[in-house]
Chains A and B, each alone.
Chain A
Amino acid sequence: MVLLSKIQEFKFDKLELESGEVLSPITIAYETYGNLNSDKSNAVLICHALSGDSHVAGKYSKDDKKAGWWDNLVGSGKAIDTDRYFVICSNILGGCRGSTGPSSVNPKTKKPYALDFPLITVGDIVNAQKKLIDHFGIKKLLCVTGGSMGGMQALQWAVCYPDSVRSVIPIATTSRLSAQGIAFNEVGRRAIMADPNFNNGNYYDSNPPSDGLAIARMVGHITYLSDESMHKKFGRQTQGEDKFKSKFDINFQVESYLRHQGLSFTQRFDANSYLYIAKAGDYFDLAETFGSLMKAFAGSKGVKFLVISFTSDWLFPSYQSWEIVKALKANSIPVSYRNMESSAGHDAFLLDDPQFDNIIGGFLSHA
C-alpha cells in the first residue's frame, strides 16, 4: 500500500530570532504520518538536511515516481513505524519548500525578501519547529532525529528543549562544522553569488542564478560521496564520445551524474535559501555557544541518545560524533554510539541498510 502524504501549513505571528530581529509572519510547511495517540506520547520529529524538505516518506499521489527522502526508514512496518508513531517533518525556516524563507514575500515591501531576509541559525530553525510541536499540543517528543544538518537540529533540541524530548538520534553530524565543511559551503556560496543572474539576490522576476546553484550542488554532491563509492558507481566509465572531438563536453559518467544532479536541483531549490541555510550550518557551534560541549549538554540529563556515524563519511567524520559521545558521557547522560561500516560516504545515512534500520527501530521501541 502506498503511504500518501500532503503538505500542510502552520502559520504563526512572529519569531524572535537569535540575531535579535523579529520575523513576522511565519509559515511552516510540514507533513505528518501515522496518528498521534491520546496522551500525545508517540510523536517523532524528523529534521531534514540542507537541501531536504518535509516530504520524508510516502508519495503525494499514487502515480508519483519518487517517494520521500527517507522512505526506506519511515512507513508502515518500517524502522520508524508509522503504525506506531506519529511522524512529523517540517521544512526548515529559511527553506524554499513551503516554509518562510528568502523567496517568501516580505510584508513590508510586498516583494520577496531576497537578501533582506535576516540571517537565521540552527537555533532559530528549532525554535520554529518548537512552535509547530506546541501547536499539536505535544509536551514531549518521543524522539528527534535527522542526519547531517538534521542531526544538528536534533542536538539543538536536546540542548535547548531537554524537557520536551525523550530521546534524540543525531546521525552523521557534528556539534560544530569543521573548517573543511565551511570551506565547501563557501565554494557553493561563491558559485551562486558570482553567477551573472544573481543580481544581489533579486532574481525572482528574472532568470535565477541556476548555473551557480548547480555548481554549488555539484560540489555538495562530491562531499556526500566517497572515493570508494565514486569508484564503484562511475569508475572512469565514459559515454563513449571521441575525446578529441567532444573536448569539454560531458563524457565521463561522473561528469554526467554531477551535471544532472546540479541541474535537477535548480528546478526545486532557491539559491538564496541555499546561501542562508548553508550559513546557518557554518555558524552552528554548541561548544562556542555554551562555553564547552560538556556544558552544552549539562541540562540534557533526562534525554537518551543514540549517536550514529559512518566510517567513510569525510564531511562529518566519525571523530566529530565521538566528541559528542564523550561530552554526553562526561555528563552521565545515557548514550549509545555506533560507527557504522560503510563505503557510501556522508550519504550513507540516506541509504537502505538493514543494520541501520534495526538499531533505529530497536532504540525507538525502548525510548
Chain B
Amino acid sequence: MPDKYKPDYNVIVKWVEPGSRVLDVGCGEGSLLERLITEKNIRGVGVDKSPGNLNVCIAKGLNVIQVDLDIQKGLRDFPDKTFDYVILNDTLQALEHPLPVLLEMLRLGKKVIVGFPNFAHIVSRSYLFFQGKMPMSKTLPYMWYDTPNIHFMTINDFRNLCKEQKIKVLKEHYLGERFYNIPAFFANLFASEAVYLVNL
C-alpha cells in the first residue's frame, strides 16, 4: 500500500474541512499534505527537521518551512490560530518535549489532529511479556536503539493527558492492524494506532 493511502491518512483526510489552512508538523515527504491538497483543496504548510524531506517537499511544489530550533520555540513567532488544523501525526512520540509542543500547536491551530502508535496494543504487550524484548510490529518497526520514537505512550496515557490539560476530545478513531475502526472501549488493548481531533 503506498504511503499516501495509509489508514490513518484516510481518517485525517475525512476529518479536515475543505479549504482549510493546515500545518503538518513532521510532514515527512509530504504525502499527507499532497492528499489534503488534492482531496480537500487545503492551503497547507509542512515543517520537518530533516533537510532531505524538506527538499523533496519543495521539489514537489509543497510549501514547507525549515524550523531550526525546537519546533515549540521555532513557531512562537506565528500568531494564535494561524491554522484551522495543526496535524501531529506519528510525531508526538518522536519529540523531545511532546507536551509543550502539543500545547504550542493548540495555540497555533483552532483544532489539532494527533495520531500516534498505541504502545499498549495487545501485540506489543504480548511481545514484551513473552519475548521480554522491546516490541516491534508493523506500526513500530524499529529496533530499540534506532527508533525515532523516544516517548512511547498508550491510548489511556493520551486520554489522561487530555483530562489533565483540559484538552477537549472532539473526535477519536482507533485503528487495528486488520480492522480500521475499533470501538473506543477496546481501543487501548486492540488498537495499534489512534487518531484524535482535539482543541482547548
A interface residues with partner B (beta carbon < 8 Å): 304, 306, 318, 322, 325-326, 329-330, 332, 334-341, 355, 358-359, 361-363, 365-367
Contacts and interface: CB of A to CB of B under 8 A. Distances in A.
For B58, B62, B68, the residue with the greatest tally of chain A CB atoms inside 10 Å of its CB is: B58
Interface in B159-179: none
B63 A355 contact: no
Interface in B56-99: 57-66, 68, 77-79, 82
Given A306-B58, A336-B64, 15 more contacts: A318-B68, A329-B78, A330-B78, A332-B43, A337-B65, A337-B66, A338-B66, A355-B51, A359-B55, A359-B58, A362-B58, A362-B60, A363-B59, A363-B61, A365-B61
Contacts of B82: 329
A339 B58 contact: no
B54 interface: yes
B63 A334 contact: yes
A366 B61 contact: yes
10 tightest A-B contacts by CB? A362-B59, A366-B61, A359-B58, A337-B65, A326-B77, A334-B63, A336-B63, A336-B58, A339-B66, A336-B64
A341 B60 CA distance: 21
B21 interface: yes
A24 B68 CA distance: 48
29 contacts: A304-B63, A318-B68, A329-B45, A329-B65, A329-B78, A329-B82, A330-B78, A332-B43, A334-B43, A334-B45, A334-B63, A335-B63, A336-B58, A336-B62, A336-B65, A337-B64, A337-B66, A338-B51, A338-B58, A338-B66, A339-B68, A359-B55, A359-B59, A361-B59, A362-B58, A362-B59, A362-B60, A363-B61, A366-B60
Contacts, number: 60
A332 B81 CA distance: 12
A335 B121 CA distance: 40
B55 A325 contact: no
A198 to B, nearest CB: 44
Contacts of B21: 332
B55 A358 contact: yes
Contacts of A334: 43, 45, 63
A361 B78 CA distance: 28
Contacts of B77: 322, 326
Interface in B1-44: 21, 43
A131 to B, nearest CB: 31
A362 B63 CA distance: 12
A348 to B, nearest CB: 14
A336 B62 CA distance: 8
A325 to B, nearest CB: 6
B17 to A, nearest CB: 16
A107 to B, nearest CB: 48
